């Protein structure tokens, strides 16, 4: 459960946490996201797609790092395209990039607190929120260890801690399970489910079983466009024994991709 | 936790400041004799050592400035609401404050040594120190900005060497007024007494450094390429204003003299002994020795009654010789007290109390023999007594000893009258050769 | 070999090193009437060139490199010798120009000593910080050379003429000692090669 501020208990006028219409985003010269329509509300959404499908670019655009080249994008009711002020959206945002950059000399606690300061959290709330975030990711024992002494998995969890320190309404995680051992992955799934009860969480991952276990909703993108969106069970129903994959979800995934590629060549 | 405290702990600020402190204190205490005289020499010597500290601050800033690039946090930080300017503020404060404080502590470390002896505190000292602090802060901030602009590993060493070359060559460049504007160490090497730095020069340097500091901040905080190009403006503006206000006359630029420092401070009772204000703390030590010298000279008719310290400033006319005043040099040792106390009496008596003006013929052997006769001991070469003497005519002392021995064989009254004749000849600007041996 | 060089960011380091020397050479040529560059400038240029080459002393992932089957001590020794050669050749080439950076013995001795010292520092604090001590020391030595007194000469060996046996000894000790240390131990590891 998140602690909720009065601003949030005021009637939420936005039906969707993320609302993209014909979104176009460039990655270099290539148009990685090309005409994407997406509407996501509260819950844990898994973002699947092949490499080069534009997943990371989409997440970067949602995190307000990449500016959209066209279309409309609204986060938590505030538009973030054009010349809008991004600060209100960013205050309610949590982001873990795929290549997590950090200050090696900082301790976990210091880095999470620094990120809390960067997210303009009220000063009085920072220590408690930092401790809570560190506890939730299971790094309490290592809270005062320097980031450079942490293993890959612990570093990833520290990254998740900084993403959730401000109790974001919109949480974007790009490959959060990289480097985690199976037990830690289970803990993360539990955390995601908990977070998804009152925030919009978008998890980009290649691990289909994580998506099935933790997500309430699956978003499949390919070549910069939305391919399919639905519940994980429905994904499983898309495929049958004839498609490659070791689980219903994987078979459904390959089925959808194959269908899309077949349509594209037509 | 406080973000500033975090930056102080985890950034290069503390390390750089400690290094600056160590280098500064070591440099000072390696040769304390250079600044033991008083506050202005201490401040000027510290300013001279900015040639080491300024590039150090610049390189430290550059090293720190590449932190965000080095750690690859740009992507993550771009998603946060806090503006870049506000994010950079703790780092700017941390680097600037610690390096400025380090410079002040270097001065304090020197100050504790001279606090008990240095009595004269010119107000210019405060301004020079503050502008020195500003120079280091400007170096740190400029380094931060350049480190962010060019985050390669090679930036810091290049800036270190560039800083050294800049500080060094601008201090010795022509035109002098441009060097006074650009170089943090201009005017700091002491080569004449009562040296100070003109306040116009200090002000011009302050404005130039301010321009550099602002440029550094703009480079560090600027978001777009346009903002970074705008960083050139404070540099040009600072240069322009500084060159407008820097004094252009040679006196202020090349040899500014502190007039208060050379005022004479005298004893209340007779015989009067006076030293310059800057040496006022040794008046008590000098007085008995000077009076001893006067007592020796008192055997002669028309003997001088006062001892003054040599207070001529550079570019000034030689003062006229007064026959009632003996002018001597007062030397300070590296603890701030009177150096070479044994030599003071000799200095009063040598030349029979008459100073050298350069236009009169003088015979050093005759004068030395006469002086030592009054002192009642055999002449000794000056090389052994004065550390600044590096050469003396080899035959001089032997000749003086011979003359002195002749004097010893005469009856005391006759010897004394010959010595008095030598003094009369010197005062009349006539050659005294042969007066002792007639 | 080319990949190895690229991994170590050698081209950039070479460009920075030679470029810095070229810039200082050009400045001396333009602004000074004297054909022989002042010792201060020569020594500082050497120190800067060596500092610019110091990041090449370690690759981005030391553990990965060490696992390779190369004969690392020999490789590392050759690397240092190449660094000395680059600096010496570039500076001695200026002896043919209107701004001479010499004498040759000063260039050779100071370069060898500084490369050795930098390599030894890389063993302790990593390649990224290996230039702190050599450059800092050389700045002090170049600005305040002491021509008399054993400790003075020892402390400012970078600026002493080749006739000074003590300074030459110091340079030789640093060169050989640094070479041996670096060849045996390699650069120190850190979180990333850039730290």
C21 in B contact zone (CB under 8 Å): no
B335 belongs to a structural domain: no
Mean pLDDT of B205-215: 97
Rounded to whole angstroms, the Cα distance separating B79 from B101 reads 35
Tens of pLDDT, residue by residue over B146-174, are: 999 999 999 999 999 999 999 999 999 88
Contact C194 B153 (CB under 8 A): yes
B111 belongs to a structural domain: yes
A53 belongs to a structural domain: yes
Tens of pLDDT, residue by residue over B318-344, are: 777 788 899 998 989 888 889 888 889
Instruction: Single out the residue in A167, A197, A221 at which a domain terminates.
Output: A167
Least CB–CB distance from B10: residue in A106, A115, A118: A106
* Contact criterion met (CB below 8 Å) for A91 and A258: no
Nearest-neighbour CA in chain A from C133: distance (Å): 22
Mean pLDDT of C40-48: 94
Q: What is the pLDDT of residue C40?
A: 92
Regarding whether A148 and A55 lie in a shared domain, the answer is no
Rounded to whole angstroms, the Cα distance separating A116 from A163 reads 9
- % of chain C with per-residue pLDDT over 70: 87
Regarding whether A177 and A262 lie in a shared domain, the answer is yes
B56 in C contact zone (CB under 8 Å): yes
Instruction: Single out the residue in A134, A167, A200 at which a domain terminates.
Output: A167
Cα–Cα distance list, B340 to B41, B300, B306, B333, B390 (Å): 20, 26, 20, 8, 16
* Nearest-Cα residue of chain B relative to residue A118: B82
User: What residues in C contact A104, CB-CB < 8 Å?
Assistant: 191-192, 195
B304 belongs to a structural domain: no
Neighbours of B23 (CB within 10 A): 18
Total structural domains within chain A: 2
* Strand partners of residue A218: A46, A230
Neighbours of B31 (CB within 10 A): 11
Total structural domains within chain B: 2
B34 in C contact zone (CB under 8 Å): no
* Contact criterion met (CB below 8 Å) for A187 and A157: no
C192 in A contact zone (CB under 8 Å): yes
Regarding whether A79 and A54 lie in a shared domain, the answer is yes
Rounded to whole angstroms, the Cα distance separating A65 from A133 reads 23
Average pLDDT value over all residues in chain A: 88
Instruction: Single out the residue in B204, B232, B254 at which a domain terminates.
Output: B254
Structural domain harbouring B404 = 360-438
B197 belongs to a structural domain: yes
Regarding whether A118 and A28 lie in a shared domain, the answer is no
Mean pLDDT of B234-255: 94
ipTM summary value? 0.91
Residue C62 has pLDDT above 80, yes or no: no
Best interface-test mutation with B: which of C17, C27, C33, C52 has the largest number of B CBs within 10 A?
A: C52
B331 belongs to a structural domain: no
Contact C135 B164 (CB under 8 A): no
- Cβ within 8 Å of B, C 106-135: 128, 131, 135
CA-wise closest residue to B88 among A126, A102, A117: A117
Instruction: Single out the residue in B206, B238, B254 at which a domain terminates.
Output: B254
Mean pLDDT of B223-233: 90
Nearest-neighbour CA in chain B from A219: distance (Å): 23
Regarding whether A97 and A127 lie in a shared domain, the answer is yes
Mean pLDDT of C67-81: 80
User: What residues in C contact A148, CB-CB < 8 Å?
Assistant: 190-191, 195
Mean pLDDT of C4-31: 85
Q: What is the pLDDT of residue B302?
A: 83
* A208-234 burial code (b ≥16 CB/10 A, e <16): bebbbbbbbbbbbbbbbbbbbbeebee
Residue C65 has pLDDT above 70, yes or no: no
C189 in A contact zone (CB under 8 Å): no
Mean pLDDT of B401-418: 87
Q: What does chain A look like in DSSP terms, one character per residue?
A: -----HHHHSPP--S-SEEEEEEEEEETTEEEEEEEEEEE-SEEEEEE--TTSSHHHHHHHHTTSSPPSEEEEEETTEE-STT---HHHHHTEEEE-SS----TTSBHHHHHHHHHHHTT--GGGHHHHHHHHHHHTT-GGGTTSBGGGS-HHHHHHHHHHHHHTT--SEEEEESTTTT--HHHHHHHHHHHHHHTTTSEEEEE-S-HHHHHHH-SEEEEEETTEEEEEE-HHHHHHH--TTSS-SSHHHHHHHHHHHHHHHHHH-
Regarding whether A21 and A145 lie in a shared domain, the answer is no
Residue C66 has pLDDT above 80, yes or no: no
Q: What is the pLDDT of residue C193?
A: 44
* Nearest-Cα residue of chain A relative to residue C190: A148
A228 belongs to a structural domain: yes
Instruction: Report, as ranges of residue numbers, the positions in chain A whose pLDDT lies below 50.
Output: 11
Contact A99 B75 (CB under 8 A): yes
* Contact criterion met (CB below 8 Å) for A184 and A138: yes
Least CB–CB distance from B71: residue in A97, A101, A117: A101
A7 belongs to a structural domain: no
Regarding whether B216 and B80 lie in a shared domain, the answer is yes
Regarding whether B383 and B237 lie in a shared domain, the answer is no
Provide the residue ranges of all domains of chain C, joining segments of one domain with +. Answer: 2-185
Q: Which residue has the higher pLDDT, A91 or B387?
A: A91
Least CB–CB distance from B164: residue in C16, C44, C128: C44
A41 belongs to a structural domain: yes
Regarding whether B7 and B135 lie in a shared domain, the answer is yes
Rounded to whole angstroms, the Cα distance separating B161 from C20 reads 10
Structural domain harbouring A214 = 17-91+169-266
Mean pLDDT of B250-279: 90
CATH number of the domain enclosing A40: 3.40.50.300
Tens of pLDDT, residue by residue over A82-129, are: 777 889 999 999 999 999 999 999 999 999 999 999 999 999 999 999
Least CB–CB distance from B10: residue in A100, A110, A127: A110
- % of chain C with per-residue pLDDT over 90: 50
* Nearest-Cα residue of chain C relative to residue B173: C31
Residue C4 has pLDDT above 80, yes or no: no
Regarding whether A26 and A97 lie in a shared domain, the answer is no
């Amino acid at each position: 459960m998140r602690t909720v501020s009065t601003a949030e208990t005021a009637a939420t006028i936005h039906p969707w946490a993320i609302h993209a219409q014909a979104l176009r985003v460039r990655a270099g010269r290539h148009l990685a996201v090309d005409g994407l329509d997406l509407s996501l509300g509260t819950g844990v959404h898994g973002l699947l797609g092949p490499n080069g499908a534009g997943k990371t670019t989409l997440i970067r655009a949602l995190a307000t790092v990449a500016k959209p080249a066209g279309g409309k994008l609204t986060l938590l009711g505030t538009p973030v395209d054009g010349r809008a002020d991004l600060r209100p959206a960013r205050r309610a945002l949590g982001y873990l990039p795929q290549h997590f950059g950090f200050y090696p000399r900082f301790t976990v606690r210091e880095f999470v607190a620094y990120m809390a300061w960067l997210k303009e959290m009220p000063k009085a709330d920072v220590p408690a929120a930092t401790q809570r975030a560190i506890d939730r990711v299971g790094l309490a024992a290592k809270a005062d260890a320097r980031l450079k002494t942490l293993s890959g998995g612990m570093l990833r969890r520290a990254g998740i801690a900084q993403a959730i320190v401000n109790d974001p309404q919109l949480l974007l995680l790009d490959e959060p399970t990289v480097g985690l051992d199976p037990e830690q992955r289970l803990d993360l799934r539990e955390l995601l489910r908990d977070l998804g009860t009152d925030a919009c969480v978008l998890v980009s991952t290649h691990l289909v079983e994580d998506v099935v276990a933790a997500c309430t909703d699956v978003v499949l993108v390919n070549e910069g466009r939305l391919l399919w969106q639905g519940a994980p069970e429905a994904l499983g129903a898309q495929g049958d024994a004839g498609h490659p994959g070791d689980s219903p979800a994987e078979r459904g995934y390959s089925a959808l991709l194959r269908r899309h590629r077949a349509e594209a060549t037509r | 936790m406080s973000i500033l405290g975090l930056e102080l702990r985890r950034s290069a600020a503390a390390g750089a400041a400690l290094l600056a402190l160590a280098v500064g204190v070591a440099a000072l205490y390696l040769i304390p004799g250079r600044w033991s005289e008083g506050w202005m020499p201490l401040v000027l010597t510290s300013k001279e050592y900015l040639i080491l500290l300024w590039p150090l601050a610049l390189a430290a800033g550059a090293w720190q400035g590449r932190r965000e690039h080095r750690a690859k946090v740009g992507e993550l930080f771009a998603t946060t609401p806090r503006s870049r300017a506000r994010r950079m503020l703790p780092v700017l404060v941390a680097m600037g404050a610690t390096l400025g404080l380090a410079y002040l502590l270097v001065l304090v470390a020197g100050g504790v040594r001279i606090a008990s002896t240095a009595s004269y505190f010119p107000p210019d000292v405060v301004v020079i120190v503050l502008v020195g602090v500003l120079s280091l802060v400007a170096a740190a901030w400029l380094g931060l900005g350049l480190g962010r602009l060019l985050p390669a590993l090679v930036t810091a060493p290049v800036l270190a060497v560039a800083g050294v070359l800049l500080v060094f060559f601008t201090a010795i460049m022509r035109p002098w007024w441009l060097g006074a504007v650009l170089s943090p160490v201009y005017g700091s090497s002491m080569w004449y007494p009562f040296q100070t730095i003109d306040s116009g020069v200090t002000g011009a340097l302050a404005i130039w450094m301010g321009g550099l500091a602002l440029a550094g901040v703009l480079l560090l905080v600027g978001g777009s390429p346009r903002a970074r190009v705008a960083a050139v403006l404070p540099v040009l503006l600072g240069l322009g204003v500084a060159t407008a206000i820097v004094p252009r006359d040679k006196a202020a630029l090349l040899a500014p003299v502190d007039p208060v420092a050379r005022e004479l401070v005298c004893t209340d009772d007779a015989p009067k002994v006076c030293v310059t204000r800057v040496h006022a703390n040794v008046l008590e030590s000098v007085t008995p020795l000077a009076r001893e010298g006067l007592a020796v000279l008192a055997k002669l008719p028309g003997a001088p009654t006062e001892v003054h310290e040599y207070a001529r400033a550079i570019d000034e006319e030689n003062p006229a010789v007064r026959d009632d005043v003996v002018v001597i040099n007062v030397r300070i040792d590296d603890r701030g007290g009177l150096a070479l106390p044994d030599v003071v009496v000799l200095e009063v008596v040598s030349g029979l109390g008459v100073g050298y003006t350069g236009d009169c013929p003088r015979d050093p052997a005759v004068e030395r023999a006469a002086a030592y006769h009054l002192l009642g001991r055999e002449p000794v070469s000056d090389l052994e007594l004065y550390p600044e003497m590096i050469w003396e005519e080899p035959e001089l002392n032997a000749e003086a000893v011979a003359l002195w021995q002749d004097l010893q064989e005469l009856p005391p009254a006759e010897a004394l009258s010959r010595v008095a004749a030598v003094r009369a000849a010197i005062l009349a600007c006539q050659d005294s050769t042969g007066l002792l041996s007639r | 070999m080319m990949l190895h060089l690229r991994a170590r960011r050698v081209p950039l380091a070479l460009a920075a090193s030679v470029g810095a020397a070229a810039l200082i050479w050009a400045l001396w040529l333009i602004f000074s009437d004297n054909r022989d560059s002042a010792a201060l400038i020569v020594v500082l240029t050497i120190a800067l060139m060596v500092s610019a080459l110091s990041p090449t002393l370690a690759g981005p992932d030391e553990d990965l490199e060490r696992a390779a089957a190369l004969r690392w001590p020999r490789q590392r020794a050759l690397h240092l010798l190449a660094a000395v050669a680059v600096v010496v050749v570039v500076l001695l080439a200026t002896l043919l120009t209107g701004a001479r950076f010499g004498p040759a013995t000063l260039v050779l001795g100071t370069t060898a000593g500084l490369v050795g010292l930098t390599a030894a520092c890389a063993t302790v604090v990593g390649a990224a910080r290996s230039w702190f001590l050599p450059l800092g020391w050389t700045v002090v030595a170049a600005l305040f050379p002491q021509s008399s007194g054993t400790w003075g000469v020892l402390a400012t060996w970078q600026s002493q003429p080749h006739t000074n046996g003590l300074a030459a000894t110091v340079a030789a000790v640093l060169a050989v000692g640094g070479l041996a240390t670096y060849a045996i131990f390699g650069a120190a590891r850190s979180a990333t090669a850039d730290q």
